[in-house]
Chain A
């Protein structure tokens, strides 16, 4: 496998070199800036990883088409692609390879467990690491100078999710009192469920049961049975794409119909792919998750381009697109591909040209302060934003109407 990657890398290098040397002005341009693009494109998380890679690659294409890094004489960005194979070890191995390949920074990771490991390894080489999605809060609380997270972490997401859940429930006349949490058992799912489990009772909800399962899991019958027996008002799933879809479909199959399915970072709950492929199972599912700014023209244009490619505009795409733009801005301001100077530039970033509803970027200890999730709901064949009210496109449908 490593031989295969080497060949691919050599191929990329040679084609990139050919592309650079073709025009006669090539010599005037600075040499390319290598950027590591790390995702789990094979294994259990491969779909999300591939989506992330698409977003990152599109951003790099766009930056290069617009003249590259101007402060470096129009140097192009050259992606060094890595496959974390859906494991932290796989992520580490790729960081080592990227470091030897001489990248200026790394973007990606996707899963919390991969981000934790990969950013730690990158820290050894003082290599700037921008986390695309990984939400576990310890990613930014370890004091690693090289690690920056553009998106929101658990703490903020859980708080927003709970505030919004209370708001939605209150608006409907408080029909929901009991909750069941179904989560995957790695850093992401367990961390989130622990947070929710302590905070839900404070908000007046009773947690009936917490069920954990591994990733991958290919049978949710027992879990669905337990949900049916407990009959909670609200089911909160916290798992990755494949398991999320399977669980939602198994609940539909086992005719488990709670008043609401409310996910926090549901792997599929606000995914256009899920809605298109299994509209019945997805109907009325609510999610508190990463979402693009629906009033941002650039975000809407990218959606059109993704739709035209017959891909789905999932959060991995626009999060990674934004992270690459953020990095390019930092390299531009650093005026160098030097790792320490890029880290310095990221620390002082006020970048606002991204696709997310975060406002200008401001990192405190590596965490972007403006980052926040939004609430969505699957209504009909589309995904609508239901909260915050400032850019909601629909009102929440809760409790779920009985079919």
Chain B
């Protein structure tokens, strides 16, 4: 069983899948790191983005990769508005209210999608979906390679933005010390909304990367969010690098456990790992110790 004919491609496949997980986790960890809340609406928003990408292709004939260019700003706007005008005001400054508000949003979005589009599973067929790139003796699907590249680029971009731009610095300032940031003239409500918008924009891009090879139904996003939570915990709450590496790691674990335990049990490895991390390193691999 341990032959390189299988191991190398399985490893590469795992890395590619992991990159997509990482992007979902990136949005989640960003929101957690700054707003200190767990966004339960993350999965529902991903599903909404999947439907947006699906219909952009089905109705307007737009290639998903092109759709990403306008869906990302659109979902940034949606995320911004949600935080600024719904979640923020409804929370009245209490963290546990925010939790419930995002949970409520998730239920609303999912059921609205279920009502509008029923429980059907849909897919799109793209001419390049089954094209392959040959690396050594592995054949990698083109959409996965594209996804990997895009995710790495976005993670790098985010990292630089957080480090070098004014908004990035403001986000970090709010994350570290909300009151101090407010005193030095930073508009905290605005920064919260920008962060939420960025997290949601990540989902729009994820959706466009997924749709060539994945299916959608009103619950499709949830499969990713459960994994994303694991990644966020594994990588350390609020850490961009942690989300990226955690995502890749989880992808590889899933691929190998699928290989050795069977496809039906493929995801068990992820959750075993989740429990182990919680037991032995609750702050995560890259998280700061509490």
Q: Which residues of chain A have a CB within 8 Å of any CB of chain B?
A: 1, 42-44, 46, 85, 185, 211-214, 216-219, 221-223, 225-226, 228-229, 242, 249-250, 252-255, 277
Q: Indicate if the CB atoms of B130 and A228 lie closer than 8 Å.
A: no
Instruction: List 13 additional contacts besides A221-B141, A242-B215; criterion CB under 8 Å.
Output: A43-B217, A44-B121, A85-B119, A213-B262, A213-B264, A216-B121, A218-B215, A221-B13, A222-B258, A225-B6, A229-B5, A253-B130, A254-B139
Interface size on B, residues (CB 8 A): 29
The docked-state distance in angstroms from the alpha carbon of A229 to that of B214 is 25
Q: Indicate if the CB atoms of B121 and A214 lie closer than 8 Å.
A: no
Query: Min CB distance, B158 to chain A, in Å?
Result: 27
- 1/0 per position for B118-143, CB-CB distance to A under 8 A? 11110101000010100000010100
The docked-state distance in angstroms from the alpha carbon of A255 to that of B131 is 12
- The answer to whether B222 has its CB under 8 Å from any CB of chain A is no
Give the residues from 15 to 50 in chain B that come closer than 8 angstroms, CB to CB, to chain A. Answer: 17
B residues within 8 A CB of A185? 264
- The answer to whether B255 has its CB under 8 Å from any CB of chain A is yes
What residue of chain B has the Cβ atom nearest to residue A231's Cβ?
A: B5
> Given A211, A222, A223, A253, which contacts B141 in the complex, CB threshold below 8 Å?
A253
The docked-state distance in angstroms from the alpha carbon of A42 to that of B264 is 22
> Given A43, A44, A222, which contacts B263 in the complex, CB threshold below 8 Å?
A222
The docked-state distance in angstroms from the alpha carbon of A316 to that of B217 is 24
B residues within 8 A CB of A43? 119-121, 217
The docked-state distance in angstroms from the alpha carbon of A212 to that of B114 is 30
Q: Indicate if the CB atoms of B215 and A222 lie closer than 8 Å.
A: no
- The answer to whether B213 has its CB under 8 Å from any CB of chain A is yes
What residue of chain B has the Cβ atom nearest to residue A87's Cβ?
A: B119
Query: Min CB distance, A66 to chain B, in Å?
Result: 34
- The answer to whether B259 has its CB under 8 Å from any CB of chain A is yes
Query: Min CB distance, A229 to chain B, in Å?
Result: 5
- 1/0 per position for B207-229, CB-CB distance to A under 8 A? 00000011101000000000000
- The answer to whether B3 has its CB under 8 Å from any CB of chain A is yes
What residue of chain A has the Cβ atom nearest to residue B256's Cβ?
A: A222
The docked-state distance in angstroms from the alpha carbon of A225 to that of B255 is 11
A residues within 8 A CB of B123? 242
Q: Indicate if the CB atoms of B120 and A211 lie closer than 8 Å.
A: no
Nearest 4 CB-CB pairs, A to B? A213-B263, A42-B119, A229-B6, A185-B264
Contacts A222-B259, A223-B263; A228 near B5 (Cβ below 8 A): yes
Query: Min CB distance, B168 to chain A, in Å?
Result: 35
- The answer to whether B73 has its CB under 8 Å from any CB of chain A is no
Contacts A43-B119, A217-B263; A226 near B6 (Cβ below 8 A): yes
What residue of chain A has the Cβ atom nearest to residue B5's Cβ?
A: A229
- The answer to whether B198 has its CB under 8 Å from any CB of chain A is no
A residues within 8 A CB of B259? 222, 225-226
Contacts A43-B121, A218-B213, A253-B139; A225 near B10 (Cβ below 8 A): yes
A residues within 8 A CB of B139? 253-255
The docked-state distance in angstroms from the alpha carbon of A242 to that of B217 is 14
Q: Indicate if the CB atoms of A221 and B9 lie closer than 8 Å.
A: yes
